[in-house]
Structure 1
Amino acid sequence: MRGVIERLSDEGLGILRDGRREILVPHTAPGDTVEVLRWRRKKRKLIATEFKVLEPSPIRTEPKCPYFGRCGGCLLQHIPYEEQLRFKASKLSKYMGLNVNVIPSPKIYGHRNRVDIVISTTGIGFRRYGTWWEAVDIEECPVFGDSSGKVLKALREFIEDEKLSLYDIRKNGGFLRYIVIREGKFTGELMVNLVTKEGNLPESFPDYFPFASSIYWSVNRSDSDVSYGDVERFWGNPFIREKLNDVLYLIHPNSFFQTNSYQAVNLVKKVTELVDGEKILDLYSGVGTFGVYLAKRGFNVEGIEINPFAVEMANKNAELNGVKAKFRVGSDKDVENLSEYDTVIVDPPRAGLHPKLIRKILRDEPEKIIYVSCNPKTLSENLSALGEKYRVENAIGLDMFPHTPHVEAIVELRKV
């Protein structure tokens, strides 16, 4: 089957039509003439697994990363950044039913502050696109930056010197599973977290990473293919720090933080600009990214988060910055009277707001809601439900994830 790629799907795959049949072709651009030789079916979609680009689109650009097209980390490096932004703006506008501009990322390489690198018998790097068992061997990751190369070089020396076994996901065998690198882009502090199965880690491990501020060994005791585990031991500092404007945040191996620090500055600034009143509820508050930043600017902030460890980190961040924001463990379904707050900030997981919380918002009628979302589909569904009593005052897109199809949105809602 051959033809011209019409446009990109929401997932960033090129769409090739053959009558009423649609095949999704990864790593292609609108305007490419392609020939698809093989495809597979995934969740009622056809995805090309073997194809040729017969004639490249005039909009194509040369990817910076030598692993592009094999590595599953980036899908859009072959598309100029301005086109990526147009694609994301179009995607947001489609779901929201209004024109939404997307703020570009201040950096499009070296911007990620976290990468989770697979250590496996098939390679040390990222999963090959379309597979769950194979890894593409890499020397460094351009979207993370130069320190990824230093860490991977040291890791390979450690493996060679100590003759350590690598994980085989198909057999659930081997010792080393992941190495996670985190970096404070504004502080220069670096964390290395080695994730293994149960076993004995050679005492020499920290000696290979003298350039790291914090070194961790975590044990994944499950069969699940995840890049975190129980902390077994650490060397150096227990945390690294990141700074967004004048606010410092502590980062632990098991805590979530926005992965693009440069754009996270714009994210917290935009949310702050939209807040009204004095008393703020920060729902799904995580480590206090919004709450601590707002408290530093004089707002009276209460944060609620279901993850006890994240709450502990949020309170540490409040203490570190000398602010009085209070964070507590709680579920989005069991929030108290929302009408007490001038502004309610919600930053839910990809699944969106729980139906019980939507009903509670509609019953309590807080004056303003600021909705932060990384999933346009569930955002659209939630806005439709909230539209019974709220109108959209403002909507902004932010490109937190250059070279991927993902986009963040901030929506300002006011009671009708």
Structure 2
Amino acid sequence: MQGRIEEMDEEGLGVLTVDRKLHVPFTAPGDVVEVRGWRRKKHRLIATEYKVIEPSGLRTEPVCPYFGKCGGCTLQHLPYSEQIRFKSDKLSNLLDMMVDVSPSPRVYGHRNRIDIVISTRGIGFRRRGTWWDAVDIEGCPVFGPSSTRVLHSLREFIEDHDPALYNIRQNEGFLHYIVIREGKFTGELMINLITSEGPLPEAFPEYFDYADSVYWSVNRTPSDVSYGEIRMFWGKEFIQEKLDDTVYLIHPNSFFQTNSYQAVNLVKRVAELSEGDRVLDLYSGVGTFGIYLAKRGLHVEGIEMNPLAVEMARRNNELNGVEAAFRVGKDRDVKDLAGYDTVIVDPPRAGLHPKLIRRILRDVPENIIYVSCNPKTLKQNLDVLLEKYGIDYVAGLDMFPHTPHVEVVAKLKAKV
């Protein structure tokens, strides 16, 4: 099949329509492409064998040498302004209203975490479209220069000690992943090596003596995951990140927004939208929003189901000299929302639990700030909540340059 790409789907793939609709990776509107093979995935036809025979004027040269092979970035062939336009159109169409997207302050070097597989197929990221293959990399431009240094040290360690690398297909091998985390505003660096059970050469931390914190974690499960039970650490127990005037401790197994530069704008936006004195921070995590708001004099209660995250939030509370209250709990078990001026929800990709939605509609707190990493479930939840709420504000923030993903912040006000 041959034809011109006229549009992009919501995942950032070019759409070619001839006698059927084909979704073509790494293409741009205006490209003329030839497609020779495809596969069916989730009711769509995805091109697997194709070439661009006449490039669009929209295209730009990708910065990353692994673009098109690595499964991480899929939009580097588009100028960043086009990426923002694509995300704004995507949100506007989905939410049926005009939604502006704020660009990331930095387009490269913005990620503060990357998870690198240490496999017999390569040391790097999963090859696009596979679970069993990897692209060997020397560094990651979206993370920054320290990734190159860490990967060089890792390869030196492997060359000197010859540990068994992860065979992904057979789920065998000692070394599985190395996770790199960096405080973008503090410059502090953390390395977490994930292995299966077995002895780690004592010299391992010496290869990373420039890192502030070095961890060894063991994954005893059959699952292919980039975390495990902490076995040992060297240096600092935590690294720190700073968003505006608020400092946060980072633990290997705790979640933190992956783009620190845009996370500053996110916490500021949430603070601007918050009303009243008493705030409930649901899905509070390590206290990213709650601690920031408490520093501004608001009375904050946070609820989070992950005990480690709650422990980290309490440490962050103490570190910043505020008195927000955090406790372990599930979204579905929240009892009373009526006493809060603002309720902040930042749920996982699955969205709000139905029991929580029913509780909101029963208690009707005046203000809800909904932070979402999945616009589809945001839309589903809004369709129900609009029974008793109106949308006061909605905007996107690009936390994930070069990918089709986008963060959304919406403010809902109870109808009078």
The TM-score bracket by the shorter chain reads: over 0.9
Once the two structures are TM-superposed, the CA of residue 96 in structure 1 deviates from its matched residue by 1.1
Residue equivalent to 2:44: 45
1:166 maps to 2:165 = yes
Residue equivalent to 2:17: 17
**1:231-251 per-position Cα deviation (integer Å, ceiling 9, x unaligned):** 111000010000001100000
Q: Separation in 2 of the partners of 1:253 and 1:383? A: 34
Once the two structures are TM-superposed, the CA of residue 329 in structure 1 deviates from its matched residue by 0.5
Residue equivalent to 1:276: 275
**1:46-90 per-position Cα deviation (integer Å, ceiling 9, x unaligned):** 111111111111000000000001011100000000000000001
Residue equivalent to 1:61: 60
Q: Separation in 1 of the partners of 2:16 and 2:221? A: 40
Residue equivalent to 1:7: 7
Correspondence list, 1:389-408, <5 A? 389-408=388-407
Correspondence list, 1:182-331, <5 A? 182-331=181-330
**1:350-390 per-position Cα deviation (integer Å, ceiling 9, x unaligned):** 11011111111000010000000011111011111000000
What code does the residue aligned with 2:8 have? L
What code does the residue aligned with 2:219 have? N
What code does the residue aligned with 1:273 have? E
Q: Separation in 1 of the partners of 2:250 and 2:13? A: 34
Once the two structures are TM-superposed, the CA of residue 18 in structure 1 deviates from its matched residue by 2.2
Q: Separation in 1 of the partners of 2:126 and 2:265? A: 30
Residue equivalent to 1:34: 33
Q: Separation in 1 of the partners of 2:93 and 2:168? A: 39
Q: Separation in 2 of the partners of 1:30 and 1:118? A: 33
The 3-state SS of whatever aligns with 1:394 is strand
Q: Separation in 2 of the partners of 1:225 and 1:92? A: 32
Residue equivalent to 1:138: 137
Identity %: 70
Once the two structures are TM-superposed, the CA of residue 230 in structure 1 deviates from its matched residue by 0.5
**1:87-106 per-position Cα deviation (integer Å, ceiling 9, x unaligned):** 00011111111101101100
What code does the residue aligned with 2:405 have? H
What code does the residue aligned with 1:100 have? V
The 3-state SS of whatever aligns with 2:33 is strand
1:156 maps to 2:155 = yes
Q: Separation in 2 of the partners of 1:294 and 1:154? A: 40
Gaps of 5+ in 1: none
RMSD: 0.6
Q: Separation in 1 of the partners of 2:42 and 2:414? A: 39
**1:249-278 per-position Cα deviation (integer Å, ceiling 9, x unaligned):** 000000000000000000000000000000
Residue equivalent to 2:110: 111
The 3-state SS of whatever aligns with 2:8 is coil
Q: Separation in 2 of the partners of 1:201 and 1:24? A: 45
Once the two structures are TM-superposed, the CA of residue 44 in structure 1 deviates from its matched residue by 1.6
Once the two structures are TM-superposed, the CA of residue 23 in structure 1 deviates from its matched residue by 1.3
Aligned positions, number: 415
Q: Separation in 1 of the partners of 2:21 and 2:199? A: 50
TM-score of the superposed pair, with normalisation by structure 1: 0.99
User: Which stretch shows the higher mean deviation, 42-51 or 199-208?
Assistant: 42-51
The 3-state SS of whatever aligns with 1:28 is coil
Q: Separation in 2 of the partners of 1:397 and 1:171? A: 41
Residue equivalent to 1:334: 333
Q: Separation in 2 of the partners of 1:16 and 1:229? A: 43
**1:161-204 per-position Cα deviation (integer Å, ceiling 9, x unaligned):** 00111100111111111000000000000000001111110000
TM-score of the superposed pair, with normalisation by structure 2: 0.99
Q: Separation in 2 of the partners of 1:280 and 1:235? A: 38
The 3-state SS of whatever aligns with 1:359 is helix
Q: Separation in 2 of the partners of 1:396 and 1:167? A: 42
The 3-state SS of whatever aligns with 2:165 is coil
The 3-state SS of whatever aligns with 2:7 is coil
